[in-house]
Chain A
């Protein structure tokens, strides 16, 4: 599945899109752990939320692989 990346997440990952094996991340929590494991810079630079289909998602959210997913680092609009 594809995970869209913005702001500092895009810079840490080095792309605006991350491809993840859906079997390796069946929930938002698993996806979060996988991202931090693969890119330890997140621990140093930024916490992040995960959005699923344009809404902030809880860690318990179960992913099917068909959703639109994004990494949402701390926002700073305004």
Chain B
């Protein structure tokens, strides 16, 4: 049975059809890729599934429960974690605070607990902090725990963002261009990190990427999106040799 099932999802921005008839079915523990040229609608698909936009038509089900109409934080709490293309870190907060805050939905104390610093609240804060430290260790950013995120190098910020996403305890993780702006060495590191997340946390991953080499290396199946429509789906090998994909990326061969 599939973990996430998207059926026939279509979305219009005014008169523009951004996504049409999109289908997706991810099983637990799978790594999937979503590629396509700029403006193909990849991020829109992420935003539709994570609830930032509501699709005009179609169904989205996580573990057989519909996600349509839920607010983004509810969807995230159901087990759909994500990162952002431009990271969206909180600029006045430390690394540790980032990861702690992503435990928000798991907190067992309420407002009264926070106001009066009850025993439950203190115990929960301690548990969250411990958990956050563990995650920071996993992503090898523990030594930056008390630093403000804006002072950190780009690669570290990326890892902080991943740690933050993992703190929400996702069953499936959406990564929106995790290698954007990275050097080749950082890219190799990132492949290692994603493999590690996959094996350590047993999450399914859906990956948006520009760099084909990266996607080919990681993903079991890949979808290619052009103008909001999936033009090809298959294993990396199949995608690599699909003439439509080549056309979308490199353009049609002109007849001289």
Chain A partners chain B: no
